[in-house]
Amino acid sequence: MPSAKRIYLSPPHMSGNEMKYIEEAFRDNWIAPLGPNVDNFEKDIAQYLGVKHVAALSSGTAAIHLALILLGVKPGDYVIVQSFTFSATVNPIVYLGATPVFVDSEPETWNMDPELLEKAIQDKRQKEKDKRKIKDKIKIKDKRKKIKGGEVKAIIGVNLYGMPAKWDEILAIGEKYGIPVIEDAAESLGSRYNGKMCGTIGKSGILSFNGNKIITTSGGGALLSDDEEMIAKARFLATQARDKAPHYQHSQIGYNYRMSNIVAGIGRGQMEVISERVRARRENFEFYKSNLSGLKGVSFIDEPGEKYFSNRWLTTILIDPKEAGADREEVRIALEKENIESRPLWKPMHLQPVFSGYPAFVNGISENLFSRGLCLPSGSSMTEEERERVVWVIRKELKKA
Ligand SMILES: *Cc1c(COP(=O)(O)O)cnc(C)c1O
């Protein structure tokens, strides 16, 4: 049994002011999925990111679900989505009965490859046309029969591990084909692209405040947009789609997706220290890089240019087993033996059993990253001693080999 204290991948890190806001909620009896903490947390986020409107929600997944509904995604439609991500990016597409179309990554940012994105759009647009032709024929024969959906309704790109995607290229393609872009910024609060804060780049952006993210509310998320109407509609749908009436009246299907005023109190305490948290995560990256990049077969992902500023949510390393003499799993197990949590990179969605039947445009990049990559402990509360312990185990394992 390892005696040293466990080092976690990305544990919560409180500022100390969270309880103050929670106590206010108790004092004023604002124990509800709305209230002053929710309003103020939304304001804090809007101000920090420079975005006009924010809806605080129960999770990042809920935010993606609403973003898709608000873009009119219907059963049978296509949503083009980055394959190299967490499943929460994709699940809401399937909730809506739409078809995810997976697009692989490019090697510089590990995010959506713009060339493959365009290929995917062209392919699905052709399918749309074919479907329309069939529809027209059916119209003549049988007016009652309908083929539903089949339109490419949205693109979802991700800033994986905090690294901004190639947004100029992705947005230009979205514009060229008239398809709105959703930015999944769940991992990239505090990152920047071309001077813009991540989460504010697409038509709408989503954040997550899950326990492992750069700041946390224990669980929560947000939908961001400069489009006032969109966020107003999101709030409406997130609170059971109640029409304006003294009684309960509904003309649409609603959801219970609003953030609680209690957890929003945690969020307010966390937003006070967001800049420090970004600084600490970036320091972890610098530490690992300067202490490990000399090892044979170990490499890091750099910001590919001036435009890119990553919050370095998780520091990741790639291990080339031929050069390093040990593979990713051997290193992970060696760390685990020393009571240190690390984790392989996200397994691409096109390789997940549950998504195996959906179309995918792949180039082998995310699959290769998955086979070689490891996420290292990256919490903002890590001590120098803890980081040294991690480095020591990795060096020892790779030297042994
Ligand atoms: C965490 C995460 C989400 C989902 O957020 P939840 O708040 O856990 O629902 C979505 N996308 C990515 C890329 C994530 O890492």
Q: What percent of the chain has pLDDT over 90?
A: 91
Nearest CA to ligand 1 atom 11: 89
Residue 370 has pLDDT above 70, yes or no: yes
* Nearest Cα to Cα of residue 213 among 184, 186, 183: 186
- The structure tokens listed for 267 are 């969020």
- The structure tokens listed for 287 are 């530490």
* 401 — pLDDT class (breaks 50, 70, 90): low
Kind of pairing between the strands at 343-344 and 196-197? unpaired
> Ligand 1: does its nearest atom lie under 6 Å from the Cβ of 315?
no
Residue 191 has pLDDT above 80, yes or no: yes
- Per-residue DSSP letter, 87: G
- The structure tokens listed for 15 are 């500022």
Tens of pLDDT, residues 264-301: 999 999 999 999 999 999 999 999 999 999 999 999 99
Residue 378 contacts residue 312 (beta carbons within 8 Å): yes
* 135 — pLDDT class (breaks 50, 70, 90): confident
Nearest CA to ligand 1 atom 5: 60
Residue spans of the domains in the chain: they are 18-273, 275-400
Quickly count helices (H) and strands (E) in the chain: 13, 15
- From the options 3.40.50.2300, 3.30.70.270, 3.40.50.300, 3.90.1150.10, give the CATH code of 275-400: 3.90.1150.10
For residue 143, report the distance from its CA to the centre of ligand 1, in Å: 43
Residue listed under structure tokens 């949590």: 341
- Ligand 1 nearest-atom number relative to CA 187: 15
* 143 — pLDDT class (breaks 50, 70, 90): low
Q: What is the mean pLDDT of the chain?
A: 95
Instruction: Give me the sign of the Cα torsion angle 320, 325, 330, 335.
Output: negative
- Ligand 1 nearest-atom number relative to CA 59: 7
> From the CB of residue 201, how many other CB atoms can be counted at a distance below 10 Å?
26
Tell me the best of 187, 188, 218 to mutate to test the pocket of ligand 1, counting ligand atoms within 8 Å of each CB and taking the most: 187
> Ligand 1: does its nearest atom lie under 6 Å from the Cβ of 210?
yes
Please give the sequence-ordered ranges of beta strands (E in DSSP) within 300-355, or none if there are none: 308-309, 315-319, 343-344
For residue 293, report the distance from its CA to the centre of ligand 1, in Å: 29
For residue 220, report the distance from its CA to the centre of ligand 1, in Å: 9
* 144 — pLDDT class (breaks 50, 70, 90): very low
The vertex-56 CA angle with 55 and 61, nearest 5°, equals 100
Residue 78 three-state SS? strand
Tell me the best of 57, 61, 95 to mutate to test the pocket of ligand 1, counting ligand atoms within 8 Å of each CB and taking the most: 61
For residue 221, report the distance from its CA to the centre of ligand 1, in Å: 8
Tens of pLDDT, residues 16-47: 999 999 999 999 999 999 999 999 999 999 99
18-273 folds as: Aspartate Aminotransferase; domain 2 (3.40.640)
User: First vs last Cα of the chain: how many Å apart?
Assistant: 23
Helices 18-27, 261-271: crossing angle, 10 deg rounding: 150
Tens of pLDDT, residues 44-86: 999 999 999 999 999 999 999 999 999 999 999 999 999 999 9
